[in-house]
């Protein structure tokens, strides 16, 4: 079944990306024709594609780094406090985690709404619109993405730190190591398998951000300034019925993610870690 529902569509995706496939072919009006790599050529010749690609990579990298930094910092913080604050933070994080992407996006939009949102009131920004500028819109989406994805990192890393014997940490503290030094030289190496998993997962998830961008910037922002690859593919396929171009973008995304992950695993293996 896994084969049927995953491998077959991936194969189809690759196939469609090589064909001429638009509304006419779907309804059976015209026969499908084999195009070779013409779709890819068209894609690569489009300056918008490169702009979107760059935006996606930068945006995803920013999301991954912020999510990991916030998640790890809070995980360390969790081990430093007593039960009550820990429970409070844990429950708040679980709440953020449990929030569906679509509801999270609408709530953050309301919070930052220029007319009715509390954030502008608190910051005294008047009716400044966050979704108008390209960078502030990306920043808003980044905040939402970090908000809903740091809990996974935090809970996982926290669980990992708990598995490190406390004698080790006490010994490091007695030797006069600073908090940062303990994290850098003791904790991070000991829980590296966990960090690997959360990093790979974060890269995969943040590179494929869809709902947040789609809902918060209303399908790609003003003049398509906030498009990321995933939304771009969806727009191409379903809004302008260019299914083959959409599929080609999907294949490109898949290949990029694959390359990133393989390089990462290769680096790990060189350091003597086994998959």
Partner 1 sequence: MNSLGFLRRPWRLAAEASALVIAVVVAFPLYWMVLSAFKPAGEIESSEPRPWTLAPTLDSFRRVFGQQEFGRYFLNSLVVACAVVLASALIAFLAATAVTRFRFRFRTTLLIMFLVAQMVPVEALTIPLFFLMRDFGQLNTLGALILPHIAFSLPFAIWMLRGFVKAVPEALEEAACLDGASRSRFLWQILFPLVFPGLVATSVFSFISAWNDFLFAKSFIISDTSQSTLPMALLVFYKPEEPDWGGVMAASTVMTVPVLIFFVLVQRRLVSGLGGAVKD
| Choice between 47 and 116, CB closer to partner 1 | 116
CB of 199 to partner 1, least distance (A): 12
Closest CA to 64 of 146, 138, 134, 141: 146
Q: What is the DSSP string of 99-134?
A: S-HHHHHHHHHHHT-TTT-HHHHHHT-TT--TTTSH
Q: Which stretch binds partner 1 (CB under 8 A): 32-40, 56-64, 134-142, 250-258?
A: 250-258
Residue 159 binds to partner 1 (criterion: CB under 8 A): yes
Question: Min. distance of Cβ 41 from partner 1 in angstroms?
Answer: 19
As measured in angstroms, the least distance from the Cβ of 68 to partner 1 is 15
Q: Does 169 bind partner 1 (CB under 8 A)?
A: yes
User: Would you say 41 or 98 has its CB closer to partner 1?
Assistant: 98
Three-state SS letters, 205-238? HHHCCCHHHHHHCCCCCHHHCCCCHHHHHHHHHH
CB of residue 66 to partner 1, shortest distance in Å: 14
Q: Is 258 in the site for partner 1 (CB under 8 A)?
A: yes
Tell me the C-alpha distance between 64 and 70, whole Å: 10
Q: By CB under 8 A, what part of segment 109-128 binds partner 1? A: 110-111, 115-118, 121
Shortest approach of partner 1 to residue 69 CB, angstroms? 13
In this structure, the number of other CB atoms found within 10 A of the CB of residue 37 comes to: 12
Q: How many residues bind partner 1 (CB under 8 A)?
A: 89
By C-beta, is 41 or 88 nearer to partner 1?
Answer: 88
For partner 1, the binding residues in 77-106 under the rule CB under 8 A are: 77-82, 85-86, 88-104, 106
Strands (E), the chain: 19-20, 33-34
Find the angle CA(135)-CA(58)-CA(155) to the nearest 5 degrees. Answer: 100
* 173 lies in the site for partner 1, by CB under 8 A: yes
Identity of the residue, 10 or 65, whose beta carbon is nearer to partner 1 in the bound complex: 10
Q: Which CB atom, from 136 or from 211, has the smaller least distance to partner 1?
A: 211
Query: Tokens 């996982």 label which residue?
Result: 156
- Nearer Cβ to partner 1, position 2 or 223? 2
Q: What is the rounded distance in angstroms from the CA atom of residue 96 to the CA atom of residue 122? A: 22
CA atoms of 47 and 50, how far apart (whole Å): 5
Main-chain phi, psi angles of 99, to 5 degrees: -65, 125
Among 2, 29, 124, 180, binds partner 1 (CB under 8 A): 2
- Confirm if 233 and 256 have CB atoms less than 8 A apart: no
Residues paired with residue 20 on neighbouring β-strands, in sequence order: 33
Nearer to partner 1, 6 or 58 (CB): 6
SS3 content of the chain, % helix, strand, coil (to 5): 75, 0, 25
Instruction: Write out the binding residues for partner 1, residues 193-232 only, by CB under 8 A.
Output: 193-194, 197, 200-201, 204, 208, 210-211, 215, 218, 229-231
CB of 169 to partner 1, least distance (A): 5
């Amino acid at each position: 079944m896994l084969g049927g529902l995953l491998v077959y569509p991936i194969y189809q995706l690759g196939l469609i990306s090589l064909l001429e496939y638009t509304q006419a072919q779907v309804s059976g009006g015209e026969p499908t024709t084999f195009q070779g790599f013409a779709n890819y050529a068209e894609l690569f010749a489009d300056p918008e594609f490169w702009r979107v690609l760059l935006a996606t990579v930068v945006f995803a990298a920013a999301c991954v780094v912020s999510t990991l930094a916030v998640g790890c910092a809070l995980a360390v913080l969790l081990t430093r406090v007593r039960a009550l604050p820990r429970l409070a933070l844990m429950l708040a994080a679980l709440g953020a985690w449990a929030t569906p992407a679509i509801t999270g996006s609408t709530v953050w939009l309301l919070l930052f709404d220029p007319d009715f949102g509390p954030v502008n009131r608190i910051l005294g920004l008047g009716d400044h619109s966050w979704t108008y500028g390209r960078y502030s819109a990306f920043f808003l989406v980044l905040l939402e993405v970090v908000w809903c994805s740091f809990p996974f990192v935090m809970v996982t890393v926290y669980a990992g730190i708990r598995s490190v014997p406390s004698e080790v940490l006490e010994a490091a503290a007695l030797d006069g190591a600073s908090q940062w030094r303990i994290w850098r030289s003791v904790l991070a190496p000991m829980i590296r398998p966990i960090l690997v998993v959360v990093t790979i997962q974060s890269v995969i998830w943040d590179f494929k951000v869809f709902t947040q961008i789609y809902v918060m910037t209303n399908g790609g922002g003003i003049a398509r300034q906030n498009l990321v690859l995933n939304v771009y593919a969806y727009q191409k396929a379903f809004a302008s019925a260019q299914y083959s171009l959409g599929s080609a973008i999907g294949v490109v995304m898949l290949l990029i993610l694959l390359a990133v992950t393989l390089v990462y695993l290769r680096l790990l293996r060189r350091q003597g870690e086994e998959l």
